[in-house]
Amino acid sequence: MIRLITGIADPRNQDLLEEHYRLRHKIFVGERGWAALARPDQREIDAYDTPNTIYVLSIEDGHVVGGYRFLPTTAPHLLDDHYSQLVDGPVPRGRGIHEWSRFFIRKDRRGGKLFGQLIGSVPGACKLLGISSLTSVIEPNWLSRFEAASFHYRLLGPLIEAAGNQLAAVQIDIQKASVSGLAISCAG
């Protein structure tokens, strides 16, 4: 089941959000080696996990197995705060524009259909939320994933070496994306 959680304040969602923060820590700190995100409590949570953050989580047997988050670009977000050098010109901002970040899948669930379900849930979640466009900081391998998902995107600037990785900024036009028949459960 794909579950949409709006914000961090609703007590009904705290267990799922906590499990998701711990899974993000295992993946981004443990597997990817993003040491700057390491925390003693084993939770990968940052300044962008706020009451305005929207989480899309894949839940199987009551446990989080994957997900991602959307950040409103009218508030502080990663691209504007830390990666604006990836954009030629102003960073896109607006009510209908959100930043897409922290896409993850639990290690034992990779290589199956979950990736397709999660990426396929993006247009439906966006349309449900009134999001017309997404921005994202990506590694180059995401471009082929966007093409496979038939996302209409544009690079916002050049690929740049940053933090030991090639990175780029993209903007995805959600209005041109096809919505899958995947049901999304809304909470809080």
CATH number of the domain bearing residue 48: 3.40.630.30
Q: Which residues of 105-122 are buried (b: 16+ CB within 10 A; e: fewer)?
A: bbeeeeeeebbebbbbbb
Query: pLDDT for 121-165, tens place per residue?
Result: 999 999 999 999 999 999 999 999 999 999 999 999 999 997 678
Domain span including residue 8: 2-187
Length in residues, the chain:
188
Q: What is the pTM of this model?
A: 0.92
Distance separating alpha carbons of residues 38 and 28, to the nearest angstrom: 9
Number of domains in the chain: 1
Number of helices followed by number of strands (H, E) in the chain: 4, 9
Provide the pLDDT for residue 180.
Answer: 62
Residue 182 has pLDDT above 90, yes or no: no
